[in-house]
Amino acid sequence: MTHSLSPDAQKARALRDALGRFATGVTVITITGPDAAGQVGPMGFTANSFSALSLAPPLVLWAVAKASRRAAAFAAAPHFAVHVLAKAQGDLSARFAGGGAGFAGLPALRNPEGVPLLQGCLARFDCAHHACHDGGDHLIIVGQVLRFEQDSGAPLIFNQGVYGSFTPHG
Q: Hey, where are the domains in the chain? A: 25-159
Asked if 102 and 80 count as a contact pair (C-beta separation under 8 A), the reply is: no
CA angle 87, 18, 51 (to 5 degrees): 50
pLDDT at residue number 34: 80
What is the rounded CA–CA span in Å between residue 76 and residue 33? Answer: 9
pLDDT (0 to 100) of residue 4 = 59
Please tell me the distance from the alpha carbon of residue 28 to that of residue 57, in angstroms, as a whole number: 23
Q: How far apart are the first and last CA of the chain?
A: 33
Task: Split the chain (170 residues) into runs of 10 and give each run's mean pLDDT.
Answer: 65 84 93 79 94 97 95 96 96 88 90 96 98 97 98 93 83
> Whole-model pTM?
0.90
Q: What is the dihedral of CA 47, 85, 115, 70, to 10 degrees?
A: 20
Please tell me the predicted confidence (pLDDT) of residue 169. Answer: 76
Q: Are 33 and 71 in contact (CB under 8 A)?
A: no
Task: Give the pLDDT score at 108.
Answer: 85
Pairing of strands 109-110, 156-159: unpaired
CB atoms within 10 A of CB 31: 25
pLDDT of residue 165: 86
25-159 adopts what CATH topology? Pnp Oxidase; Chain A (2.30.110)
Assess contact for 23 and 157: CB atoms under 8 A.
yes
Q: What distance in Å separates the CA atoms of residue 116 and residue 136, rounded to the nearest whole number?
A: 29
